[in-house]
Structure formats: structure tokens, C-alpha cells
Amino acid sequence: MKNRHYTSLDNMVEDELPLRRMYASTGLSDQFTEQVMEQLRHVEMLPASRRSRNWQRKHINHRLRRGFLWGSAALATGAAAMLIISILSALGTTPHTSSVSQPVSEMSWRPPLQVSQWADNSLREAQALGLVQQPSVEVSDKGYTLSLQEVIADSSRLVLSLQVTDESGQTDDEWTKNRFDSQQLRILNEDGEEIGYFLSKLPLEYGPNTEKSQKLWLTYVFSRPPGDTVIIEGNVHKLYVGDDGTEPLSGNWSFAYMADMTKSKKLTVTNALDESYTTPTGLKINMRQLVRTPIGAQLQFDTLLTDEAAALSSKGLRKQLMLNYHFEDENGRILAKVNGPGNYTGSPPNVYLDHFMTEDAQTGTQHWTYSFTYLPYDSMKVRFVLDSYSIPVQSEDSITFRPEKLKEQSIMFEAQGDILKIHAMDIEKSSNEPGLSGHMTVSGEVVNSFNEDRWIARDESGKEYEVYFVGNVRNGNTITIDEPKEGVNSKSYLDVLGMTAMPQELTLIRTVTDKKYTDVDWSFELPQIERH
């Protein structure tokens, strides 16, 4: 469904501690302390809605802008310097520092971070492997200095840290509290094309650690494979410093830094996968390869619909295909899960980062890459298990009713296993656009995926209205929409846009159903590899 206001309330049991211990002890240091766990409790993650992330968005060929300050990995080797010149020449841009109050300074050598300061195990491994780049980038303006302190990058993700200090060199106590606008940074390839997008923030200023880090860690993932060099472009013109609630400080803290990916690529191990499966309803899945990167892991596979299955979904709808699967050890314990709760006890560690997909326009084959912070197939037997999949299909499910009669008795919308109870209908202020709209209060149980459902309403005169869901759901093997409670303003409803007067008769139509298929039976063991 096109959900303008959609909240997922996951009420699963929290018994993940044994799994976290397993992840922490797999060939790693014993210093995975409560300090790290305390830091992780303050992670801010973006919602993983398919619609909010348009994987097929147009690639923007932004040119590197004038006025950026340049740092380099490993103190700018000759090869890196030539690469910078080549890129700038190709883009018709030359760096200069006239727009910044003070030039970039060569920062003094910084000791490596303590193990307890890392956000997850793979980043600690990156430190041991020498993959933590320490950029020589400091930009000062308006009495504050912004510094890019650490960068860790491979094909699974890019993690960087920023710090702000005042004129006395003291770190600002407030700015890391999720107040930095991540849109001021862009991740580009060598051609100046944007290939990364922001995923999460992690301020490491919490917990009992006496060496509190006043840094802000930002994680970015890629929308397509990166090359040997990734450019971090900072268009930083606002900093939130000082007390919470104050206006941002305006200035120019812009910079650019070239992150070297060559070492991480040399340490990447790739295993070909010769596994395939066709579901009873016509989805072909071909596993291609499993990639172990220094700070993560990637699963790559292709999907293709049979002609019969493709006839149920338009070309645009097919891009919303989603696989639901998990990884488990040889005892059946869940190690990681992707998309949907499935039949689990407890909540495994959240090691799934995100995914991107490209589609062959001629064959319709979709090429998927899923990234994880870690998968322990290098130290134990790990099995991939397909739980289900969902794909929006065209539908004509409908129900016709008289809104005024709802005051006497509610009605039931039942189709494809989904049950929605319509309790009442009123004309109220719209949550989605200015003006009034029709509010259909609903509750129910949905066995399909629901998020990509599309609805319209048609009144007795034939006029059609767009319809959006507004409210809360509880995820499980089925999706639950709770019934409205007396005196509690938390009802869930269908918002009928543009309806300013109550119709005599109304037909509610679901034109697209985000169909969930559970009739699958497929698993295979991942190939084991040696650790780096």
C-alpha cells in the first residue's frame, strides 16, 4: 500500500544475547564489552521501506564543485595525486581554498581507536587489518573546526567519523546528538556520479567508557559497485553546535576526500554459488556468489519471473519484489534474517545492512546484492533458508457499502486471505494534503505484505479518489491492525483524498495486492572459507 504514515511495531521477544555472544566470540578479541553494547543502544537507523528507497533512481552526474578542500588516503601518494588531477581535468574543475576561512591543515598523527570504541566486530577487524584510513582533513570557519577523522570502506559499506572542535580545541558536547544533516555529504565514484546513500548515525559519546569519543559515525551503503576510489564530498554549510534548540551556525566547512578501496578489494574473498530454485508460483532464483569483504559480507543472486507469473505484475511492480529469508547454524539457530519476521523465536542480531538491484531491460532478469555487517560462514556451518517472498500483483478486490450505515454495523473486506474491518467513516482534516478527506477507520489481520497495496475509492457518481493507509501495524507472521480504542486517539484509517462530503454509496477497490507467497521449500549450505 502507498503508506504516507506507516509505523511498524515489532513485538518480538528479545532473547538475542546468546547470539550476540556467539558473534562477538567468533575469532575476535574478548574485549567486546558492555561499553560497545551501550553505544549500540543509541543507534539511529532509517526505516527500510521499499518505496522510500528508489533503487532505480536516476543517477545524478554531479560535478565536483569549486571551493572544496582535498585530503588523501595515506598522505596522498603520487598515484592518488595524479588520479585527483585526472578527475578534475575530466570534470573541468580545479580545487582552490578561497571560499574557506582557513586552509586544510596536516593533522598530527592520531593513535588508533580503542577496541571498545568500535561499533561492531567487523570494524574492529578492519582496524587489525590496517584498513582504517586517517584523512588529513580539517576545515575551520566561524570559530569551529570540522575534521574528517577516520574512513573505513569496502564494497559492502563506507563508514566515516566526523568531529567538531571550537577555537580552544575542545569538542562540542551537543553536535553529535543526531543533529548533523547527513545530506551535506555525498559519496561519489571517480566519474563524479553519486553511488552511495546515507544509512545510519552512531554517536559514540555514551556509556561508561572514560575515553568517551565525541565523534559522529556515519554509515553509507552503495547503490552500485564502487571502483578503486570513492570520493567523500562534503558540502557543509551548517553546523548545529551549542545547546539543543539553537539555530545552526552558517559557514563553509566544505571538503572532499578520496578513499582508497584497493587494499580492501585485495582482502575480499569471493565464492561462486551453484544453487538455483523455482518456486511453485513461478519465481526463478539463481544464486551467483558469496562475497566476504573486510568489514562485511554480500550475497549476490538473480531472479526472473516465468511468463505466467510476470503476467500478474506490470513491469513497474516487479521492481518491488522482496525475498524473505534467514541464515541459521547447523542446530537450526537463527543467525541473521532479512525482510520479515518469519517463524523465529527471539530477535537475531541485526547484521543486515541493505540491498540494491539492477534489472536487465531486455530479459527482465533482476540482479540483487544484499550487504551484511557480518556472516560467520568462515567459522561455522551456515545455511541459507528461503522463508517466503512478496511481489505486488494486479487485483480487483472490492466492497461496496453505504457509509451512513456504518454507524449501525461495521462491514468486512475479505480478499486473498486478508481481512479488514471498516468501523466508521467521517469527513475530517486530511493527514496527507491540505483540506478535508474521508477517514475510514479500519482494523484487521493481513496475511500478505500490505506495504505495496494500492487502493482507490469510487462514489455513486463514478468519481474516483486516491486512498492511503494511515496508522500503526504490528508485524508477525501476519500483520495486525488493532481495533480503535475508546478515548485513545490512535486509530488506523484509510485516508480518501479529496473527499469533502459524505457519499451515499462508496466502493473501496484494492487495485494492487502486495502478494506474499509462502509455498516455498529451499535451503542450502554456504561454502566455508578461511578467515583473513
State residue 127's pLDDT score: 83
State residue 176's pLDDT score: 58
For 261-302, what is each residue's pLDDT tens digit? 999 999 999 999 999 999 999 999 999 999 999 988 999 999
State residue 134's pLDDT score: 92
For 478-524, what is each residue's pLDDT tens digit? 899 999 887 666 689 999 999 999 999 999 999 999 999 999 999 99
State residue 265's pLDDT score: 93
Give the three-class secondary structure for 6: strand
CA angle 11, 53, 308 (to 5 degrees): 90
Range 77-105 average pLDDT: 35
Strand segments (E) across 402-481: 411-415, 418-429, 436-446, 454-459, 464-475, 479-481
- Residues, the chain: 532
State residue 37's pLDDT score: 36
Q: Say which residues have a Cβ less than 8 Å from residue 310's Cβ, sequence separation at least 6.
A: 282, 318, 364
Distance, CA of 310 to chain centre: 27
Domains of the chain: 118-266 (2.60.40.1630), 267-391+518-526 (2.60.40.1630), 398-514 (no CATH)
Answer whether residue 59 shows pLDDT above 60. no
Q: How confident is the model at residue 33 (pLDDT cuts 50, 70, 90)?
A: very low
Percentage of the chain exceeding pLDDT 70: 70
Concatenated DSSP letters of 143-157: TEEEEEEEEEEETTE
- 44 or 473, which is more confident? 473
State residue 336's pLDDT score: 87
State residue 41's pLDDT score: 38
Highest mean pLDDT out of 9-23, 423-437, 472-486: 423-437
State residue 489's pLDDT score: 64
State residue 116's pLDDT score: 38
Highest mean pLDDT out of 122-131, 184-193, 217-226: 184-193
For 218-235, what is each residue's pLDDT tens digit? 899 998 889 999 999 999
- 261 or 127, which is more confident? 261
CA angle 189, 195, 197 (to 5 degrees): 135
Residue type, 485: K
d(CA 357, CA 183): 23
State residue 223's pLDDT score: 87
Answer whether residue 77 shows pLDDT above 90. no
Q: How confident is the model at residue 341 (pLDDT cuts 50, 70, 90)?
A: low
Q: What is the mean pLDDT of the chain?
A: 77
State residue 213's pLDDT score: 55
Least confident of 184-188, 240-244, 407-411: 240-244
